Amino acid sequence: MTTLECGHLNNLDMEGQILDILINNNPQFVFWKDRSSVYLGCNNNFSKSAGYQSPSEVIGRTDYDMPWSREEADFFRRIDQEVMSTGKPRLNFEETQTLKDKSIRWLSTSKVPLHDQDENIVGILGWYVDITDYKQMKIQIDEKNKALLDYNLQLTKSKNELEQANSDLERFTYAVSHDLKTPIRNMVSYAQLIDRTQKTNPGKSIQEYITTIVDSGKRMYNLVDDILTYARTGTEELVAKEACINQIVSEKLLDLQQYTADGKCKVSLDLPELRIRCYPHLLGVVFYNLISNGLKFNTSARPEVICSHKETEKEWLFCVTDNGIGVDDNYIDEIFKPFKRIEGNGFEGSGLGLSICKRIVRIHKGRIWAEKNASGGSVFIFTISKNLS
């Protein structure tokens, strides 16, 4: 071998050593593979990350021989083939890598095709940097931003609820002062009539006056009772329980005998026999109010109420259908507001029953609305969520 040839080989050896030094001192993780995604080499950082002592132990292995998961290995090889088949690099994409100790790292990876002297693609060169700290920080920031967004949404919701509460309170104050004054005024007026009658005409019957006073007292009692129910709804500590809806409503029908005792009124139940999660007492109040309304606000010769249900993936839907007086389209949204009564319908009521229903349905994470019954009367529809804590 000539001196020139020896010098040439020495130069090649030196170039190889320099290349090894450059690759192994690169802070990134570097590797290269053949067209079958078999490892041809890597730097020290990569071999240690893969759980091997030196790059020589990695040569000839595939991603399925590494500690990363099967899904990660499939993904790595799929990107390899994409880069080699298209001849286009994939730069700075994010992926995960499971290490030998089962910890998971986040990587920012780049892969480019390797060409031989004839420009044929013979493999890929890849490198990545560990961005786990950055990714975890970003996740924390995203979580804090989400928490802040949720807080702002809750704040907006609370603000809207407060505004609605103030509006309800204003309406409440007006309605209470008006509705309580009326029976009290009647009671005072008829008591004065009794007093005057007893003084001027002691023999005259006062039974009519007494009946009016008693009726006014009952009305005031019922109004105060409804006000207390409305005020308490949603303020007490609630615990959801498994209960049979059919049984709850059947028990409530016992309290409606004032309407059903004579046999002229009919209540039909098509409700689930299975036990579902709800607030049983409150749900009973909803059915009681809707059924009693259907029977009370009814001029039919045979008042009838039908309770039915449907089940969806996320909620239960209940319908209470009656053949009563129905609700005019102009009032169909108004009737759920506190103390909202339809003037001139000739029926007594505090105007709180449907408001109480709406509150209870909201506690069940549901909705309530009214529709016209095609054959006359009304259909009240409400839902309760299957996701109650």
Domains with residue ranges and CATH for the chain: 3-130 (3.30.450.20), 139-232 (1.10.287.130), 239-389 (3.30.565.10)
The reported pLDDT for the residue numbered 290 is 92
Q: Which of 70-74, 125-129, 370-374 bottoms out in mean pLDDT, i.e. has the lowest?
A: 370-374
pTM: 0.48
Question: Which three-class secondary structure state does DSSP give residue 118?
Answer: coil
> Given CA atoms 169, 175, 179, 180 in this order, what sign does their dihedral have?
positive
Q: Rounded distance, CA 58 to CA 48, Å? A: 10
Concatenated DSSP letters of 254-303: GGGHHHHTTS--EEEE----SEEEE-HHHHHHHHHHHHHHHHHS--SSS-
pLDDT in tens, 60-94: 999 999 999 999 999 999 999 999 999 999 999 99
> How many whole angstroms separate alpha carbon 192 and alpha carbon 31?
104
> 240-291: per-residue pLDDT in tens?
889 999 999 998 888 777 777 677 888 999 998 889 999 888 888 899 889 9
Q: What number is the average pLDDT over the span 341-365? A: 71
Give the separation between CA 318 and CA 173, rounded to whole angstroms.
Answer: 33
Q: Region of 327 please: left (phi>0), alpha (psi -120 to 50) or beta.
A: beta
Overall average pLDDT of the 83-109 stretch:
94
Residue 58, φ and ψ in degrees, nearest 5: -85, -30
Band (pLDDT 50/70/90 cuts) for residue 15 is low
Residue 221 has pLDDT above 80, yes or no: no
pLDDT, mean of residues 327-349: 63
